[in-house]
Amino acid sequence: MTEPSTTLRELTGMPDAPASLTGSALIMIDLQNTYTRGVMALENVEPAIEEAARLLERARAAGSTIVHVQHEAGAGTPYDTNDEIGAIVDAVAPKPGEHRVVKNFPSSFVQTDLEEHLRGAGVTNLVLAGFMTHMCVNSTARSAFNLGFAPTVVAGATATRALPGPGGVVEASSLQSASLAALSDMFAVVVPDASAVPD
C-alpha cells in the first residue's frame, strides 16, 4: 500500500500556517466537567485542559475574541448546564465580557449566535480547543470551514474516548488520530499544541 504523501489542502493550494492569536477568535468548545469523570470521562482529559488553559491565557493577553461554548441536553443528563456536571471547568472558566454560547447540536454554529458574533467581531481566523475531538470539535471545525472561516485546531487541547465500532472497540488514541487527520486533510490546520500557535 502506498504511503499518503499529501493532503487535499496541499493539493488545492490552501494555506497550511496556523492562525495567530492576535486578530483571531479562540473557540473553547465544551470544556465541561462531565468530561473529567464518570460515563463521559475522556482519555488524557487533564493534559488537554491544561493545554487549553495555556492557550486561553495567551489569547487573553493577545486581546483575541474569546468564545466559550457549552453543550446543553437538559436536566438529568451529563450536559445539564444548570448543574455542576455541565459547568465549564474552573481552570478555563469565562471571565466577564467573554462571550458564551449554549448549543444543542454538535456544531457550535447550529441554532446559536456564534456566526453572528464572529462576523460582528470582524474575525475570520479561528483557533479551536475542547471536547470531544471526533464529535463537537470536528463538527464545529467543518461548519466553520463551510461558512468561510479559517479554523486552526490545537490537537493537544482536545481529547476523546473509546467507542464501540463495527469491528470492535475503537481505542481513544486511534479515534483521536483519525479525527485530527480527517480535519487536517481539508477543513483545518491542525497543530500539536499551543506553542505552535503564534501570538
Q: Note the pLDDT tens digit of each residue in 147-177.
A: 999 999 999 999 999 999 998 999 999 999 9
Q: CB within 8 A of 55, min separation 6: which ones?
A: 26, 127, 129, 154, 157, 194, 197
User: Is 95 part of the annotated catalytic residue set?
Assistant: no
E-assigned strand segments in the chain: 25-29, 65-71, 99-103, 125-131, 150-159, 163-165, 168-170, 189-191
State the catalytic residue, choosing from 30, 80, 83, 199.
30
- CATH number for region 20-196: 3.40.50.850
Q: What is the pTM of this model?
A: 0.95
Residue ranges in the chain whose pLDDT is less than 70: 1-4
Q: Report the chain's C-alpha Rg in angstroms.
A: 16
Tens of pLDDT, residue by residue over 96-121, are 999 999 999 999 999 999 999 999 99
Rounded to the nearest 10 degrees, how much is the dihedral formed by the CA atoms of 17, 152, 178, 41?
A: 150
Let me know: does 167 contact 157? Beta carbons within 8 Å: no
CA distances to 29, 49, 55, 103, 158 from 154, in Å: 12, 12, 9, 21, 7
Active-site residue, selected from the candidate residues 95, 136, 193, 199: 136
95, 103, 193, 199: the active-site residue: 103
The predicted structure's pLDDT at residue 130: 98
Please, are residues 42 and 160 in contact by the beta-carbon 8 Å criterion? yes
* Neighbour tally for 152: CB within 10 Å: 25
> Among this protein's residues, is 103 annotated catalytic?
yes
